[in-house]
Amino acid sequence: MPPKPYLDRRRAAAAARWELRDEVVVIGAGDLLGKPGRGDQKYPFHVHPEYFYLADRLRPGSVLAFDPAEGWTDFVPEVTEDERVWEGAVPADPGPGEAPHAELDGWLSARSGRPLAVLGAPPAGVEADEELTERLRGLLSMVRRPKDDEELARMRAAVRATEAGYAALRPLIRPGVTERALQVELEAAFFRAGADATAYGTIVGSGPNAAVLHFEPGARALRAGELLLIDAGAEVGGYVADVSRTYPVDGRFTPEQQALYDVVLAAEEASIARCRAGTEVRDLHLAAAVDLTRGLVELGLLRGDPESLVEQEAHSLFFPHGIGHLVGLGVRDAAGGVPGRKPSEHPALKKLRTDLPLEPGMAITIEPGIYFIPALLDDPARRERHRDQVDWDRVERLRDFGGIRIEDDVLVTAGDPEILTAGIPKR
């Protein structure tokens, strides 16, 4: 028996989906990685989510094993003297369902010849049946996608810390303050409000930097008249929030900024309203692309019928990413599709990494954006392809505009969607 009831439930759900007879499974937590050329220094440990979901343990090198005839065993490395000296690690007797890591080899050799799936981070020297591994991974993703009460409690705690960060940040935004200063204050407020970590590299992009999708903040000072794009979230107990907001640096949007902001906000609100059980993520993405494109046509930046502009991928000049991704156990949670389903051939869906129908309990980010990205707008092939569809002179004048992204985390329910991050103002 695992020590926590929610692990018992998750493991039972995975075993029920897998329907194994002779096959066995190991799921690796992953190992600490040394920094090249830096002696005993290690990168921060990021546990593999497939292991963490089923074991809720952060110990590097652990391997969870499953034999349908005998159940689950978590092979956990013993604490070394060095770890006790340098890290203060405390050795514990193996708990229920735990065994010393040294016993893993014996467990595997007692089952040699049986098909073996290797999930998580593959432990060294273990040879997987690739086809079985991919099949079980797809089925485990389906189990992981609807969040359970324990997961939701941690996500709500991450949201509370994220809200505290945005609340602390807002009054600090003004000309002259640096991106770095805002990052530091935002992250400090996350930690003061209970965060264990940031969910991903905090994005603070001012002016043209707001058009860099994963911008890393630096020493640049904000200037009056510019936009500021923040994309940041806190992590608690392995679970995260992922939120973006775009603000005018001096407190007021210019009319052009306001018009584009309103297009993105309307697309975001319409997309959130579509997050109902049964909705396909591919349809969410297409509908958002059409909404944004319609807005750009109304503002005169694009010319033509919005649906056919999306068919011809004109929207991707300004909206080059997906409408969202599953979120929870990490900032990209259980991506992918439905096992056995073919990817869409629609040109606007070729790059979609999450392609599935929404179910109650799933949490998804909704994050439309409009950006002016020189790397795309200056590309001769795109300029030629969309020659008559874009007001290129106007685009040229908006070269330094940056971008606007508005992102919330949405919980799909049996009824109306719940906006988990609704406490972070957008107006």
* Interface map 302-341 toward ligand GLY (x if CB under 6 A): -----------------------------x----------
d(CA 165, CA 162): 5
Q: Show the binding pattern over residues 144-183: x = contacts ligand GLY (CB under 6 A), - = does not.
A: ----------------------------------------
Q: Which does 141 bind (CB under 5 to 8 A by kind): ligand GLY, Mn ion, none?
A: none
- 64 contacts 51 by C-beta, under 8 angstroms: yes
Q: In what order do the strands lie in the sheet with 239-240?
A: 197-198, 234-236, 239-240
DSSP 8-state code for residue 344: P
Measured from the CB atom, the residue of 133 and 365 that comes closer to Mn ion is 365
Q: Which of 163, 242, 333, 409 binds ligand GLY (CB under 6 A)?
A: 242
Helices (H), 89-193: 104-109, 130-144, 149-169, 179-192
- Which of Mn ion, ligand GLY, none does residue 6 bind to, with CB < 5 to 8 Å depending on kind? none
CB 28 within 8 Å of CB 57: no
CB 169, CB 230: distance < 8 Å? yes
Contact assessment for residue 236 and residue 157, using Cβ atoms and an 8 Å cutoff: yes
Strand order in the sheet with 203-206: 203-206, 227-232, 243-248
Q: With CB cut-offs between 5 and 8 Å by kind, which of Mn ion, ligand GLY, none does residue 200 bind?
A: ligand GLY
Residue among 29 and 230 whose Cβ is closer to Mn ion: 230
To the nearest whole angstrom, how small is the minimum distance from the Cβ of residue 325 to Mn ion?
6
Q: Whose Cβ is closer to Mn ion: residue 324's or residue 402's?
A: 324
Whichever of 62 and 244 has its CB closer to Mn ion, that residue is 244
Nearest to 281 by CA among 241, 335, 233: 335
Distance in Å, CB of 66 to ligand GLY, minimum: 32
Q: How far is the CB of 199 from ligand GLY (least distance, A)?
A: 8
Judged on CB neighbours under 10 Å (0-12, 13-18, 19+), 93 is: exposed
* 235 makes contact with ligand GLY (CB under 6 A): no
Confirm if 393 and 308 have CB atoms less than 8 A apart: no
Rg for the chain, CA atoms, rounded: 24
Pick from ligand GLY, Mn ion, none: which does 409 bind, CB < 5 to 8 A by kind?
Answer: none
Residues in the chain: 427
Least gap, CB of 333 to ligand GLY (angstroms):
11
Q: Rounded to the nearest 5°, which phi and psi values hold at 132?
A: -65, -45
Question: Do 287 and 270 form a contact (C-beta atoms < 8 A)?
Answer: yes
* Residue owning tokens 């906006």: 419
Interaction between residue 409 and ligand GLY (CB under 6 A): no
Interaction partner, residue 355 (Mn ion, ligand GLY, none; CB < 5-8 Å by kind)? none
What is the closest distance, in whole angstroms, from the C-beta atom of residue 331 to ligand GLY in the complex? 6
What is the smallest separation between the CB atom of 366 and ligand GLY, expressed in angstroms? 11
Minimum distance of ligand GLY from residue 231's CB (angstroms): 5
Q: Is 231 in the site for ligand GLY (CB under 6 A)?
A: yes
Q: What does 23 interact with, of Mn ion, ligand GLY, none (CB < 5 to 8 A by kind)?
A: none
Identify which of residues 95 and 218 has a Cβ nearer to ligand GLY in the complex: 218
Name which of residues 177 to 206 contact ligand GLY (CB under 6 A): 200
- How far apart are the C-alpha atoms of 294 and 300, rounded to whole Å? 10
Interaction partner, residue 187 (ligand GLY, Mn ion, none; CB < 5-8 Å by kind): none
Q: Which is nearer to ligand GLY, 230 or 249 (CB)?
A: 230
CB of residue 173 to ligand GLY, shortest distance in Å: 19
The nearest distance, CB 198 to ligand GLY, in angstroms, is 11
| Helix or strand holding residue 293 (H, E) | helix 281-298
Closest Cα to residue 202, out of 224, 181, 173, 226?
181
What is the C-alpha separation between 92 and 95, in angstroms, rounded? 8
* Cβ-contact 372, 301 below 8 angstroms: no
- Residues lying near Mn ion in the complex (CB under 5 A) are found at 242, 365
Specify the residue, 233 or 306, whose C-beta has the smaller distance to ligand GLY: 233
Q: Which does 408 bind (CB under 5 to 8 A by kind): Mn ion, ligand GLY, none?
A: none
- The nearer residue to ligand GLY, 2 or 328, going by C-beta atoms, is 328
What's the CA gap between 154 and 149, in Å, rounded?
Answer: 9
Residue 163: CA count within 13 A, CB half-sphere: 14
> Measured from the CB of residue 274, what is the shortest distance to ligand GLY in angstroms?
19
Give residues in contact with ligand GLY (CB under 6 A).
200, 231, 242, 331
